[in-house]
Amino acid sequence: MNILYQSQRAMRAKRQDALRRGVIAVLDIGTHKISCLVLKFDQTDAAAPAEGIGAMAGQANFRVVGAATTRSRGVRFGEIDSCQETERAIRTAVQAAQKMAQVRVDHVIVALAGARPRSYGLDGEVTLTTGTVTDHDVGRVLAACDLPDLGQGREVLHAQPVNFSLDHRTGLSDPRGHVGNRLMVDMHLLSIEAHAIETLLHCVKRCDLELAGLASAPYVAGTSSLVEDEQELGAACIDMGGGTTSLSIFIKKHMIFADTVRMGGDHVTADISQGLQIPMGHAERIKCRFGGVMATGMDDREIIELTGETGDWHHDRRTATRAELIGVMRPRVEEILEEVRARLDAAGFEHLPSQRIVLTGGASQIPGLDGLASRILGNQVRLGRPLRVQGLPQSTCGPAFSACVGLALFAAYPQDEWWDFETPADRLPQRSLKRAVKWFRDNW
Amino acid sequence: MRPLIARRDTPPLTARRGPVAPPPAPPPVAEPVHRDPAPSIWSYRVQRLWLTPLFRRVLRVGVPSFALVFGTGLYFSDEGHRTAILDGLQEIRREIEARPEFRVNVLGIDGASDRLTAEIRGALALDLPVSSFDLDLEALRQRVEALPAVARADLRIQSGGYLAVRVTERVPALIWQTREGIVLIDREGHFVDALGDRQLEAPLPMVAGEGADRVVDEALALHAAAAPLGDRLRGFVRMGERRWDVVLTDDRRILLPERGAVQALDRALALQDATDILGRDVLRLDLRNPDRLTVQLTPAAIEELRRLRALERDTLTGGTSG
């Protein structure tokens, strides 16, 4: 518990340092591509009204000064598989972004898609000593949450207070100043496998960068591709990436659930490669150029040439119709979506008041996907693109970059987390002297 | 040409005795590992270093400037290099100075008499032609103005290599008789010339006495006031650096007071007009006390006066007694 606090707080300190310097990089390590954005923060805008509570809320306005994307190597299912290859890919992306920005970045915030995220809902309850809720009470109620048994080798990635209730009132986003007797909190905790974080840290360190933050890709994709009322009323964001399809559920502007389906666009490509017996690169190209999920009569007449370099004349001059291609792609896409449906059902998505589903990510660009998804996931499906942020190049405005843009938003407007609040002194007796000194310094 | 009989490259399929050597293993073909291009760790680091602002500034500004300063210092630390460069600069400077555009060929002196012109030429001691860069006009001007007869000098180099010297001469106003000799001084009391060296156009008033050169104005005013005395006036003597005596012919004097000397002289002249006092046997006419005019008679006149007084007394006593 304390170790978690310390490592997360160290990252927060680094992020504050980077914001003070004004330059920070965000890095989305995906299975298919690694993209890097260099953000320049103009000034810390303390006057802006912050949503939520705590010190980290609503910090700065930023501009994207550098952007680079490279093909990902050594990443499988959103987890780093081969350190050296990933390191090379990170170097490529960071160097290109730095070159575009003409500035050196030292701090990087990384999003992770895979590593089997698991959501927990925690609640804590505390009786207020004074009648009014103070910062101290908020820290106390957060500390009162029982940490569930995460399992062997798992780490907490996000722990966000989602809802505060005071006596019989619930749905408070900021309980400070309210009068009551018992303060309760609902907290969403996301844990991932620890080895993924360790490997990532290793790779980032090998690139001479410092990790200033870590975020879950479904969370950041949701923040960037869901519009404000979708986040408020309840929606699911499905980020269809290369190796994983991650989903996150938002309500009241807080993520309440995140999960990952370990299938994505690369599996569709692999299916095409197997089904049509063509190399992967070629299959990827055909998928992007002719792919689809809804076959029409027109597609039977559209011939795709499956050229090859094997030397076998007949093999190299095969053709396939687009209908055949769709026939290969559709089952896999359906499988992915059904798996997503299962996860959403498991999370109890149907009980939410609004059940909008937003598809984003690179694999969501398959033509006709929204029609197929609405059959499987429900009526309220739309395709989402990331928010427009200042200075973002046109090439990185597509849905494939929603996690990246969301990470930039995450850097600028961080959500308050568990560790942003002071833990009560009784939990940390060894710090009481330090706290006394701090109190003395603050008040005298 | 292809041979008609097919050549057999492979060995015949006949059995051989002995151990059969295994065919040489083909060299392992290096599988070209296709990797995506990525910067090497060193190029990455170098680029990051280059994007560091401080490093960039040091390398772009600091190192070249240091190299420049260091190289220059190293070059100039050698005496030979230094003298060579200085000599070269001097040579260039000399070449430019020696150009005919900057040469002064003619010295023209304006506003001076012939004698003074010669004197100025001697004082300037210019070895014409000379470069105008070598002329220190201020020093030359001071040299010219150091000449006693020159009140003000104005030197300028005009086009065509002409050095014009415009001189204002001192005009002698008084002849001043001192112990050393008789000199001419101007209105401001400056020495102009010795009397013997110069022909005067007009007769000048003559003064004597110590400190007379400091009160030339008074002397001139007295001279103007003493005009009615005509030929009888010989000059003025400054007495004790305080007041004036008017010296007339026959060594007679009018002693003037310290203040109001001109008015006193006017009074004396009025007395002269009224009583012709100077036509009498008077040695000194003392006006120093404004309330009382005192007269010193010549010894002969005193004798005569005494004689007359005694006679008068005798007559009076004789008259009363007799």
**pLDDT tens digits for B20-78?**
666 677 666 666 667 778 888 888 888 888 888 888 889 889 999 999 999 999 998 88
For residues B225 and B287, membership in a common domain is answered with yes
In a domain, B92, yes or no: no
Look up the domain containing B216 and give its range: 172-305
The per-residue pLDDT for B87 is: 94
| Statement: residue B16 has pLDDT above 80 | no
Is B87 among the domain residues?
no
Q: How far is CA B163 from CA B53, B102, B108, in A?
A: 62, 11, 6
More confident residue, B212 or A205: A205
pLDDT digits over A295-309, tens only? Answer: 888 888 888 888 877
Cβ contact, residue pair B39, A98, below 8 Å = no
Instruction: Calculate how close chain A gets to B67, using CA atoms only, in Å.
Output: 27
A280 contacts in chain B (CB < 8 Å): none
For the ranges A284-293, A317-326, B226-235, B308-317, which has the lowest average pLDDT?
A: B226-235
ipTM value for the complex: 0.73
B-chain residues near A103 (CB < 8 A): 51
B118 in any annotated domain? yes
At residue A2, the pLDDT reads: 56
Helix or strand holding residue B268 (H, E): helix B261-275
Tell me, yes or no, whether B140 lies in a domain.
Answer: yes
B58 domain residue, yes or no: no
Q: Name the residue in chain A with its Cα closest to that of B39.
A: A92
CATH number at residue B292: 3.40.50.11690
C-alpha distance from B47 to closest chain A C-alpha (Å): 8
* B128 and B235 both lie in a single domain: no
As beta bridge partners, residue A213 has A109
Residue B90 pLDDT: 93
pLDDT value of residue A352: 86
Nearest CA in chain A to B45: A208
pLDDT tens-digit readout, A119-157: 988 888 888 888 788 777 888 888 888 878 888 888 888
pLDDT tier at A53, thresholds 50, 70, 90:
very low
Residues B190, B299 within the same domain = yes
Q: How many other CB atoms are there within 10 angstroms of residue B187's CB atom?
A: 15
CB-CB under 8 Å, A208 with B47: no
Confidence of residue A236 (pLDDT cuts 50, 70, 90): very high
- pLDDT(B184) > 90: no
Q: Residues A219-224: what's their mean pLDDT? A: 91
> Number of CB pairs < 8 Å for A and B?
39
Q: What is the pLDDT of residue A237?
A: 92
How confident is the model over A330-356, as pLDDT tens digits? 999 999 999 999 999 998 888 888 889
Site of tokens 């089904």: A275
Q: Cβ distance A309 to A330 under 8 Å?
A: no
Residue-wise pLDDT tens digits, A57-106: 444 578 888 999 998 888 888 888 888 888 889 999 999 999 898 888 88
pTM: 0.63
Average pLDDT in chain A: 84
User: What confidence category does residue B227 fall into, taking pLDDT thresholds of 50, 70 and 90?
Assistant: confident
pLDDT in tens, A177-206: 888 888 888 888 888 888 888 888 888 888
pLDDT confidence of residue B88:
94
Question: What total number of domains does chain B contain?
Answer: 2
> A440 falls in which pLDDT band (50, 70, 90)?
confident
Q: Hey, is the C-beta of A208 within 8 angstroms of any chain B C-beta?
A: yes
- Nearest alpha carbon to residue A222 among A333, A336, A111: A111
What domains, with CATH codes, occur in chain A?
A: 123-192+435-442 (3.30.1490)
Record: contact A104-B36, CB cut-off 8 A: no
Cβ-nearest to B51 among A70, A71, A104: A104
So what's the pLDDT on residue A272?
92
Q: Give the mean pLDDT of B278-299.
A: 82
Q: In B, which residues are within 8 Å of A91 by CB distance?
A: 38-39, 41, 44
Beta-carbon separation of A104 and B45 below 8 A: no
Q: Are residues B252 and B165 in the same domain?
A: no
- The answer as to whether B248 is a domain residue is yes
